[in-house]
Structure 1
Amino acid sequence: MRIRATVAAVSGALALSALAVPAAHAAGPSTHRADAAKAFQAAHAATAARNSARVAAADDPWYDLDVSFANLKVAKALKVGTTNRVSTTITYTMKFGADVDVTAKDFITAPYLYKGSFDRPRNMLSGDDMPTCSVTSATTANCKGKIDIYPQDLLNSHAGTWRAGAWAMAFNGQDPTSDDFDLSKVGFAEKGGLGTTLVQRNSKLTTSAKPKPVKKGKSVTVTGKLSRADWENVEYSGYSGQAVKLQFRKKGTTTYKTLKTVKTNSTGGLKATVKATVDGYYRYSFAGNTNTPAVNAAGDLVRVKK
């Protein structure tokens, strides 16, 4: 199941028509995951509208499912480049009432990530496959699912903090393709704000030190470039105005020490000059921020001659 588009709040009536799209037995082997995503989007939009006092609870075409969510765990940060899918696992606990059959083939639950507010998310991300749940008691199950992130689904402005949520839907034997489909017998539950993660534009950093070798006491010029994923143009572009540390590690040691801090220019370029004293490795190091992960360039060895 994959949610790719920004979700806007809709009325219960519109949600009714959208929810009727899925094929029968939404959680069975014949599940059409895209249709399950449509069902969730419709239900989420109506729930968000109700929470924002734009729609009365009585307007919801389904009933409130006796399911709650807790103990959600997600990675602290997700680095997303320009082309490859990035997947991460989310686990959570689902608690349910005695009248809820979470083992039914037409019971669905899944985690998701959303950017922005719960009521008006700017984007939502879910997984390509349905999660798995292990029932641990008469009222509790532990669930595990994946979030699959595709760079083409993101805008550069989507980088930063995302929130995590989970949802569940019970069709209770109702067939959405049937003329007798009764949506009032379908249950839905959802909870946002269960956790946070950073979806970041992956970064790259280079270092080149010259001349090689260099005479002791003479200057070494260290250049480099800091770039990060541009999701909209499918390329890595220079990251300007960022403070980057120039570091040095003496040959035969393991620790880098900061020599100075320089800022990237308009194209992400870096340039600094230092005096050479002993053989060693020069590198640039970027501490990262909410939108862009930290990165260290590979060290570049410069030998010093007398």
Structure 2
Amino acid sequence: MDTRNWTAWNKFMGLWNADTWAYVPVDNPANTLEATADLPPGNYFVTAMYGIYGVDSYLITKSFTVGARGARYWAVPMTGESSGTFLATYLRAPGTFTAYMTPGVTWSRLVDYGSQNLNLTDVNLGSGETGTAETVGAGPLMPGTGRYGSQTRRERDKLYLYEPIQLTDTAGNPGSDPSTSRTTMTLSAGGTVLKTAASLSLAADVPPAAQLYTLDQTTTHRSQQSLLNTRIQNTWTFSSATTTSARLPLIDVAVGATGLDARNRASGGPVQLTLTPSTRSSDAVTRVDRLEWSADDGATWTAASVTTGGASITVPPGAAFVSLRITAANDRAGTLVRTVTRAFAGPAEPADEKLGTTGEFGGELEISGVTVNGGQPLTVGTAGTFEAMTATYAVSDPVNATIRSGLVLYHGSYTQPDGIIPASVNCVRFQQVIGRCTADFRSYDHRWALNSNALAGDWHVAIWAENAAGTRMIDRHDAATVTLRKATQLTTDATPEPVAKHRTITVAGALSRADWETWTFRPYAGQTVDLQFLQSGASSWNGLRTATSDAAGKLRTTTPAVTSGAFRYRYAGDGASAGISSAADSVAVQ
């Protein structure tokens, strides 16, 4: 157990055998934060009580198994005074939830969405205190410095440039997406390139005299779960001279917006932007000189009228995305030109995309042979899990099939899905110009993603792929479909057993279906089910008649006793429900 407050008292530790409940002595001299015990193989649990005068005490427990001697276990993984433990709340985005927290404890909070993350402010609420409502992830998302300040600085005659925060929301929550982003940085002065880097950081030796520098940072960001912020370019100019240690006076512009929905989409009416410029570690007067927007990914730009309150943009109904270009300056010769491609979404659905090059190595990528789950529907029961499922496809490249790709299943429309299941994709070069890709869907609990009965049915497969250099790209929004069905249960009970020939046999049963909102099996009413018969000694089932499930899912029909054999009900299934045959119930006819 670890804590910064080494004066904490009541640091008692106890150890028990979990199978026999036998107490195991521990060596905990002077109630320190560490204890040792001599344990044979077995199952155990440890408890630790920790308290500080004037605050609440805590009882911490952890179970573990000893397979061999020599292992060491912590009651709770801890660093400093933090527990190191995060409690996950899963929900489909956009969504809302209320968190209930132990009073007097400082809670750190993270938001993970696919490969993206946001780092929220810590919260510490008193007893009975209600926190303020927060909106997380509101766009347009812009580069920022984070809560702890940028690490871009000068130390004597060396510049250390580090700008990792590319996805700050309008509430100031910093975020990033390192696994799906690529960044390049270029530092120059007087038209001469001093240093370049293909990363988020760069360090360069510079002369002591004051001079004007230009820093260009470009980040490309492609993820099948995120359609926005596909390219972010910052071009700063700033003056710097030798100093012991100081932050560089780069310009930032915080952007707020009204008129966007919960998906950062302009669905109607103007979008009002607020623009707040500033210069880091400086009292320089900073202003926004120009705001431009584009509905065609920067092919053409339209200037918006900028006032002290910001600017207003009327988004055309045919726009799928809106890009922003902001130009700012200060009175110390500093400037910033920030271009965010697809800063927010427009009202229109985007079309499939292709990006190719021309000339000797021209051509476009192609996606083919998309197969999900071997071409079979996927059945999900009440546990919210499914067996390992994969999707396979090929990507052809006219030059060299070294491919990076992503895939996601979605339900609903492409820009406004009501369900998403991500996949982890690995592509290998099969031939010089063909890459084979396999997408693996995680088999953990999917109840947070499938928490609506409306999600049963056809799901769409969206795939993007690009070559290693990023010069050729393809994005197909509906490359294939796969059906997700609710699991069903079906029973059969034929009576009487045995039965005299020509007497009546009553065949009862019940049909139920997985409910993805309660995660239980519930009666499935109004469904037509076939009654089938297998004569003793035969190998094929024959249909006798049909029955319809009542409001309780019950089935009941009769048939004359002709010969010995087995009865079963067979449900063919529908677009949202899996077909199933019940277990057979044999009847001897005498």
TM-score category, normalised to shorter length: 0.7 to 0.9
Q: Paired residue for 2:253? A: none
The reply on whether 1:121 has 2:417 as its aligned counterpart is yes
The reply on whether 1:195 has 2:476 as its aligned counterpart is no
2:407 aligns with one of 105, 111, 118: 111
Give the deviation of 1:23 after TM superposition: 3.5
Q: Paired residue for 1:53? A: 319
Q: Paired residue for 1:41? A: 225
Q: Paired residue for 1:288? A: 573
Q: Paired residue for 1:93? A: 394
Do the aligned residues in 1 keep the contact of 2:91 with 2:448 (CA within 8 Å)? no
Give the deviation of 1:95 after TM superposition: 3.3
Instruction: State the alpha-carbon separation in 2 of the partners of residues 136 and 228 from structure 1.
Output: 43
Task: Indicate how the Cα distance of structure 1 residues 18 and 217 shifts in structure 2: closer, same or farther if over 3 A, else same.
Answer: farther
The reply on whether 1:23 has 2:324 as its aligned counterpart is no
The reply on whether 1:13 has 2:165 as its aligned counterpart is no
Superposition TM-score, scaled by structure 1 size: 0.75
The alignment partner of 1:157 has SS state of helix
Do the aligned residues in 2 keep the contact of 1:283 with 1:298 (CA within 8 Å)? yes
Amino acid of the structure 2 residue aligned with 1:82: T
Do the aligned residues in 2 keep the contact of 1:18 with 1:42 (CA within 8 Å)? no
Instruction: State the alpha-carbon separation in 2 of the partners of residues 45 and 261 from structure 1.
Output: 56
1:135 aligns with one of 429, 433, 442: 429
Amino acid of the structure 2 residue aligned with 1:143: C
Give the deviation of 1:262 after TM superposition: 1.1
The reply on whether 1:279 has 2:279 as its aligned counterpart is no
Amino acid of the structure 2 residue aligned with 1:21: S
Structure whose residues are more often helix by fraction: 1
> How many residue pairs were aligned?
274
Larger radius of gyration: 2
Instruction: State the alpha-carbon separation in 1 of the partners of residues 490 and 229 from structure 2.
Output: 41
Superposition TM-score, scaled by structure 2 size: 0.41
Amino acid of the structure 1 residue aligned with 2:427: C
Task: Indicate how the Cα distance of structure 1 residues 5 and 96 shifts in structure 2: closer, same or farther if over 3 A, else same.
Answer: farther
Instruction: State the alpha-carbon separation in 1 of the partners of residues 94 and 355 from structure 2.
Output: 22
Task: Indicate how the Cα distance of structure 1 residues 46 and 257 shifts in structure 2: closer, same or farther if over 3 A, else same.
Answer: farther
The alignment partner of 1:60 has SS state of strand
Task: Indicate how the Cα distance of structure 1 residues 100 and 135 shifts in structure 2: closer, same or farther if over 3 A, else same.
Answer: closer
The reply on whether 1:167 has 2:464 as its aligned counterpart is yes
Task: Indicate how the Cα distance of structure 1 residues 97 and 17 shifts in structure 2: closer, same or farther if over 3 A, else same.
Answer: farther
Task: Indicate how the Cα distance of structure 1 residues 122 and 61 shifts in structure 2: closer, same or farther if over 3 A, else same.
Answer: closer
The alignment partner of 1:14 has SS state of coil
Amino acid of the structure 2 residue aligned with 1:91: T
Amino acid of the structure 2 residue aligned with 1:80: V
The alignment partner of 2:526 has SS state of coil
Instruction: State the alpha-carbon separation in 1 of the partners of residues 415 and 434 from structure 2.
Output: 28
1:69 aligns with one of 367, 384, 387: 367
Instruction: State the alpha-carbon separation in 2 of the partners of residues 206 and 246 from structure 1.
Output: 11
Task: Indicate how the Cα distance of structure 1 residues 189 and 40 shifts in structure 2: closer, same or farther if over 3 A, else same.
Answer: same
Q: Paired residue for 2:439? A: 145
Do the aligned residues in 1 keep the contact of 2:225 with 2:408 (CA within 8 Å)? no
Give the deviation of 1:54 after TM superposition: 3.8
Post-superposition Cα deviations, 1:14-43, rounded to whole Å, max 9, x if no partner, equal 38627951236769xxxxxxxxx9954332
Give the deviation of 1:46 after TM superposition: 7.7
Do the aligned residues in 1 keep the contact of 2:395 with 2:401 (CA within 8 Å)? no
Work out the percentage of aligned pairs sharing the same amino acid: 25
Instruction: State the alpha-carbon separation in 1 of the partners of residues 228 and 393 from structure 2.
Output: 19
Do the aligned residues in 2 keep the contact of 1:7 with 1:120 (CA within 8 Å)? no
Do the aligned residues in 2 keep the contact of 1:161 with 1:198 (CA within 8 Å)? yes
Amino acid of the structure 1 residue aligned with 2:435: A
Instruction: State the alpha-carbon separation in 2 of the partners of residues 18 and 64 from structure 1.
Output: 29
Unmatched 5+ stretches in structure 2 = 1-89, 96-136, 143-165, 170-174, 183-220, 232-262, 266-294, 297-317, 325-339, 344-352, 357-364
Unmatched 5+ stretches in structure 1 = 28-36, 103-107, 173-184
The alignment partner of 2:418 has SS state of strand
Instruction: State the alpha-carbon separation in 2 of the partners of residues 24 and 153 from structure 1.
Output: 22
Instruction: State the alpha-carbon separation in 1 of the partners of residues 141 and 422 from structure 2.
Output: 22
Query: Greater CA deviation, 88-97 or 18-27?
Result: 18-27
